[in-house]
Structures are given as C-alpha cells and as structure tokens.
Structure 1
Amino acid sequence: MNSASGAAVVVGVDGSGSSLAAPSLAALRLAATEAAGRHRPLRVVHAFIWPLLRSPVRPATEGAAGGGLRRQAEGLVAAAVDEAGATAPGLRVTGEIVDGEATAVLLAQAPTATMIVLGDRGLGGVGALVVGSVAVQVAASADCPVLVARGAHRADGPVVVGVDGSALSRRAVEFAVRTAALRGAGVIALHAYRHPASTGPGDMQPLVYDESELRADEDRTVAESIAGLAERYPEVPITRESVRGRAARVLTEASRRAQLTVVGGGRRNELTGLLLGSVSQSLLHHSDCPVAVIPDAVG
C-alpha cells in the first residue's frame, strides 16, 4: 500500500453511455466514502477497449473508429466524478480513461494507490468473462489493498477480520483496526479451526484431547495477532473469537453482521507466482458485506 499523503483511492468503473453499471455505482459510492474517511483523493479509472464492446458505430457521424465509444467513455467518467462528488462533498475527485484491458489497467494503478475499489461484477465489456473475474484477478495480484463492493452496505456493525496466526493475517488485522478507527467501529478478530475433531470430509479424525487446552491454544493465536493494537488504537474495541469450522464458512456467516470483512489474500507459489487463497476467493463470491483483501506487500 502506498502510504504517501497524496496517494489516491482508485475506483474502477464501467457502464453504458453515461450510465454506470450497478456494481460500479456501488463501488464508486463506497470508494468515495472510503477516500473521504481516509482524507485521500479519489481517482476514477475506466479501462477502454473499444473493439471488444458490443456497441454500434456509425462512421458518418462518429468519425474515426471507436471515436463515438470514446465519447461515451468520457461521459461515463464525467458522470462517475459527479456521483462521487455528490456522495462525499468536498472530496477531491479526478477521472481518467486508460486504453487497455481492465485487469492490466487497474494493476498498473496499484503502485501509486492507497487502495483499489471494485464492484463484484463487470469491468470487462466481454460477456464471456467469468463473473467477477476482474475483481478476483486484481485482488490476487495488486500490491495494495483491494476493496470489493458486494453484499449489504451497512453503516453499523463491526469490522470482521480473519486470523490464522500468519504474518499476512497480522497485516490484515492491522488494516482492519486502522479502518475501524476511521469508521468509529469495533473489530472482531475471528479465528476458525478444524482440529482435532472432525467436522466434515477432509478434517482430521477425532483424537483424545483436552477441550480447555485446545481452546486456550486457539485463543493464543488470536491474542498474538492483535498484540499491541489495543494500545495503539484504544478507541477501537477489539473482540477475540475462536470458532470451530472451516474458515470460509465461518467468515461468510460473520459477514452477515459486519460492515466490512478483511482477509489476507496473496500467497506465493514458486511455479505459478501469486495466487489468491481459497478463503479470500470464497468471500469475494459469498460475503454478505464488502470485502477487503490485503496482499503480502502491505506492511
């Protein structure tokens, strides 16, 4: 994440003519609110690939091939800038049209962005793309946090963050607590575990164990992940929860009472590079509130 004071929140938008697609509109409003709360400018970005758009062009009135579509894109970005200004009056908003495929365009914004905000669908202009593929690809590869607008947008409720004891989940917790401080919300640090009792196919088989010792071990995982944050952010109430079950299911259920769910996202693989974890992918498709995916690069 770019922490420079001038680093912008970037939001990707698409639509038809000057009308924003519903997922883009939701993302735009969320991005404007987030930028205002963080005292950052907002940059609206539209990826423009006119040959892939299914829209008629009449040479006699449109001029050069794609000229009419570019004017539509300009109208779309102007409408988005106006909408962002209406959502967060006083916010500094700029708009930009960038030639290229949506994922590549948005990833190129990441090094100078404090955050990228996307809708959970769209941003492709190509009907054959898998639903949500741009959001998944950007969340998997961006080196700044990616906030995906999906589910219910609640003004209240806690910020829920997934904890597994890793360095990446520690960074997710730090992001969650900072965000909760800006929103005046509390944090639920949620740790899901499946051992030693079997709760479904693929789980470990039952063993002889002391339930109180097991719970104490799991609670320590959560405590270590939030260590020091209560002192740094005394205004943020932090609740620790350890729940037996699969992480994706536990976090999805918790998202129904949350205003934001935060998870670590990227993991390195020597053969395939950066991949998005299964828990993060599941939440991007099933969370009942917006999801923030925190990459390895965020400190």
Structure 2
Amino acid sequence: MTGPVVVGVDGSPSALSAVDTAAREASLRGVELRVVHAFTWPAMHVPRGGSPLGPPTGGLREMVEDMVGQAVGRASVAAPGVQVSHAVVAGEPLTVLEAQSRTAQLIVVGHRGSGGFLKVLLGSTAVHLSAHGRCPVMVVRGRPDLAGPVVVGVDGSRLGQAAIAFAFAEAALRGADLMALHAWSTWADHGEHRLGEPVDLVDLIGDVDQIRAAEELVLAEALAGHQERCPDVSVRSRLVRGRTRQALIEASGSAQLMVVGARGRGGFTGMLLGSVSQAVLHHSHCPVTVVRPGL
C-alpha cells in the first residue's frame, strides 16, 4: 500500500516513543512520516492567543506548534533520511486519526496519551483506533527486543489472514525472523457448549494426539502461500497448548513486534476488536500492530 506512516502526538512521553518508532517504520518503508496533532481546544472555546498578562508566545496555538515542532525534530534525529511533514488538525483525536488512516499505510500511536488516568494501562484512543482504523494500527508499548522475532498470532480464521500477510511483510522489512504462534486447548471455546458448560474435546474424540495433529494442520494451512511470497523470511511455527492471550503475552517478552488480527474465530459476531487483541494491547511487552480484515 502507498501512503505515509502517520504518528499521532499529544506531548506525552508515550507519544514521543511512538514518534521514534514511527520514524523507523517510515525509514524501513522508504516513505514520508506525517506527524499529526488533534487540536481539541478550539472546540472547547478556549482562546488560542496568549493572555494579555503573559508573553505573546504563550497561547495555546503556540504551545501546540512548539510541541509538534519538537516531535518533528525528534523524528528527524531518529531517522535522518526520512521526509517529515506535520499537521495540526482541529478535532477529537480518534476522529482526526481515523481520517488520517484512510490515506496512510500505517498509523502509530502511544499506548497512553496525555489525557489518561495513571492507572489506565491503555488509552481509549489507542483501543478505538485499533478497532476503527482504515490501515494497520501500531500501538507502541513495552521494551522491544530488537534482536527478537516478529510474532504473529494465528487462529486459522479467514479474518486472521491479513495479520499474517502483514507480519510476513514486516519481518521482511526488518530482516527479522517470524514466529507464527497458534494456541490450542482440548476445551471447545467456539460455541460448542452442552448445558451451558464448555465441552472437553477429549470426551468427543478421545485422543489428545489427534487433536494436536488437527491444530498443527490449522497452523500449516494458515501459513500456506505466505512463505512463497516472502521466501527470505525465516519462519518458526510454534504450537502452544494453553490460552491464546497468555501465550501471546509471554511470547511478546522476547519479540520486537507483535501482530494480531482485530478479531479471530472466537468472540461475538459484530465485535470490531476481540478479547485476545484487547488483552495483548493492554499487556504486551513490545509494540503491537492490529490488522483488520481487508486492509
């Protein structure tokens, strides 16, 4: 996909980390980086200019332009060869960034903005943009292992194919290995319930090895075709018996990037962001990219 990498900034430490990451992503792709700030104060009817009692450069507009200018300078240091543009757009952050995502190939945000409460693990803009963005959304958090692999969560669903394709492309750009992780359990969690209780597939099939072999096939079929398109990417398939969210969060501790689909084969129809994706966004030890189907 053509288009710039866009990073949302609000002056928070989290946003500054996002600027560094976004600059590197733009450099990897050889595209422009666009630094965007959603200027909400005009809607609150706050005067933009300085106070009559203060310096002429003390107004809100001047503060915003200074903050954006610092972000642009930081991006230029992080990736000197990248062309950097900036925009200050009046509006609510989610609305502004969703509009920006329509022409971007990747949008990058910090895990918490300047408006978040101290105990909130993830800002509302990051969550909602991951569900509504028109391009992949990278949420910068944790301490990535830059020598580690790109990890992609695989559940075998059609909806997850976009995330797998993105993960292969990202691993190729970074020259990194790719770990394709698929978690499985003998307990059915996709709607097969008996009297309101989960069904243990061992009761139905009677052979754990047969269940494991079926899950290995799910993983292999999900990856089929992607390796041919990215032959230089070294892929390690990992089958884990356990809960998906815990397996992904644990794997993120030694990863440089986690990639997940917005929704997998579980969950409620109509949800834009599944419970596993939300858990990873809240607790991952490295940046997370959420890829919605059709992107």
TM-score tier by shorter-chain length is 0.7 to 0.9
In the alignment, which of 91, 94, 98 is matched to residue 100 of structure 1?
91
Is 1:46 equivalent to 2:62 in the alignment?
no
In the alignment, which of 255, 273, 276 is matched to residue 273 of structure 2?
276
Equivalent residue, structure 2, for 1:11: 7
SS of the equivalent of 2:62 reads helix
In the alignment, which of 224, 229, 234 is matched to residue 237 of structure 1?
234
Is 1:171 equivalent to 2:171 in the alignment?
no
Equivalent residue, structure 1, for 2:180: 189
Taking the aligned partners of 2:71 and 2:198, their CA distance within structure 1 comes to 47
Taking the aligned partners of 1:163 and 1:267, their CA distance within structure 2 comes to 9
Deviation for aligned residue 1:137: 0.5
Can you list the C-alpha shifts for 1:164-219, whole angstroms capped at 9, x where unaligned? Answer: 11122111111001000010111111111122489xxx753352522222111101
SS of the equivalent of 2:145 reads coil
Alpha-carbon distance change, 275 to 63 in structure 1, aligned in 2, over 3 angstroms: farther
User: How do 1:188-227 and structure 2 match up within 5 A?
Assistant: 188-196=179-187, 203-205=198-200, 206-207=202-203, 208-227=205-224
In the alignment, which of 60, 65, 77 is matched to residue 86 of structure 1?
77
Which runs of 5 or more residues in structure 1 are unaligned? 16-20
Deviation for aligned residue 1:110: 1.0
Alpha-carbon distance change, 194 to 203 in structure 1, aligned in 2, over 3 angstroms: farther
Do 2:162 and 2:294's aligned partners in 1 also have CA atoms closer than 8 Å?
no
- Deviation larger for 140-149 or 151-160: 151-160
In the alignment, which of 24, 31, 40 is matched to residue 33 of structure 1?
24
- Deviation larger for 289-298 or 273-282: 273-282
SS of the equivalent of 1:281 reads helix
Q: How many residues align?
A: 283
Equivalent residue, structure 2, for 1:251: 248
Do 2:160 and 2:293's aligned partners in 1 also have CA atoms closer than 8 Å?
no
Equivalent residue, structure 2, for 1:151: 142
Taking the aligned partners of 1:181 and 1:165, their CA distance within structure 2 comes to 22
Equivalent residue, structure 2, for 1:294: 291
Alpha-carbon distance change, 74 to 267 in structure 1, aligned in 2, over 3 angstroms: farther
In the alignment, which of 104, 110, 113 is matched to residue 119 of structure 1?
110
Do 2:262 and 2:273's aligned partners in 1 also have CA atoms closer than 8 Å?
yes
Can you list the C-alpha shifts for 1:65-85, whole angstroms capped at 9, x where unaligned? Answer: x98111111011111111001
SS of the equivalent of 2:238 reads strand
Q: What is the root-mean-square deviation in Å for CA atoms of aligned residues?
A: 3.1
Equivalent residue, structure 1, for 2:260: 263
Do 1:161 and 1:172's aligned partners in 2 also have CA atoms closer than 8 Å?
yes
Do 2:146 and 2:255's aligned partners in 1 also have CA atoms closer than 8 Å?
no
What percentage of residue pairs aligned between the two structures are identical? Answer: 47
SS of the equivalent of 2:253 reads helix
SS of the equivalent of 1:192 reads strand
SS of the equivalent of 2:52 reads helix
Can you list the C-alpha shifts for 1:30-57, whole angstroms capped at 9, x where unaligned? Answer: 0000110011110000011126699998
- Give the TM-score normalised by the residue count of structure 2: 0.87
In the alignment, which of 1, 10, 13 is matched to residue 22 of structure 1?
13
Taking the aligned partners of 1:278 and 1:257, their CA distance within structure 2 comes to 22
Do 2:144 and 2:254's aligned partners in 1 also have CA atoms closer than 8 Å?
no
Q: Which runs of 4+ in 1 moved over 6 A?
A: 53-57
- Give the TM-score normalised by the residue count of structure 1: 0.86
